[in-house]
Amino acid sequence: MACARQTGSVRRSVDDLLAEARARIGHRPSPAEAAAAQAAGVLLVDIRPVEQRVRDGEIPGAIFIERNVLEWRLDPTSPWRLPEAEALAHNGGRVIVVCNEGYSSSLAAASLRALGLAGATDLVGGYQAWARGNG
C-alpha cells in the first residue's frame, strides 16, 4: 500500500528541527555550569539508554528517564509523573537534560518547554563533554 503524499507542507530536516529546538531553549549550559546548577538544586536528567550508561558511566546525582517516557515522567500534571516532577512545577521547570553528545537532549528539552517547563535546557556536548570536564 502506498503512503499518502503530504500536500501543502514544507519538508524540514532534522538539522532544521534541532536548530529550532535550540533557538527555543536559548542558553545551554557547559558541563561546569551544569555541575554548579545541579549543586544549587537544578534537576539533571540523563536520557541515555542503559547500555550507554553502563559503558560510559553516570553523572552522580542525575536521575535516569528513558527518552520514550520523558514527557510523561516530568509533566507535573501527568498521572505517571515522578516525584521530582512536583518540584519542577514550583521552580520554574529548571531541568537540564543530558544525552550522549547533546543532540537528542536539545529536542527533548524543547519538548519539555512545550509542556510548560520554561527552565528546561540541555547540556552542551552531552555526557561525553561532562566526562571530559568532570569525569
pLDDT at 110: 97
Is residue 89 assigned to a domain? yes
90: number of CA atoms within 13 Å, CB side?
5
- For residues 36 and 65, give the distance between their C-alpha atoms in angstroms, rounded to a whole number: 21
pLDDT of residue 72: 96
Ranges of residues in the chain whose predicted pLDDT is under 50: 1
On whether residue 84 sits in a domain, the answer given is: yes
Question: What's the pLDDT at 1?
Answer: 47
Which CATH number characterizes residue 114's domain? 3.40.250.10
Q: Are 96 and 74 in contact (CB under 8 A)?
A: no
CA quadruple 65, 133, 107, 37: dihedral sign: positive
Predicted pLDDT of residue 93: 81
3-state secondary structure of 89: coil
Domain holding 108, by residue range, is: 36-134
Q: What's the pTM value of the predicted model, to 2 decimals?
A: 0.88
- Kindly state the cell numbers that stand for 88: 519542577
Asked if residue 20 belongs to a domain, the reply is no
Whether residue 73 lies inside any domain: the answer is: yes
Tell me whether residue 24 is in a domain.
Answer: no
pLDDT at 10: 83
CA dihedral sign, ordered 21, 131, 48, 97: negative
13 located within any domain: no
Q: What is the structure's pLDDT at 133?
A: 83
Q: What's the number of domains the chain is made of?
A: 1
User: Is 18 contained in some domain?
Assistant: no
How much is the pLDDT for 76?
87
Q: Give how far Cα 128 sits from Cα of 30, 47, 85, Å.
A: 12, 13, 26
* Residues 102, 129 contacting (CB under 8 angstroms): yes
Residue 102 in any domain: the answer is yes
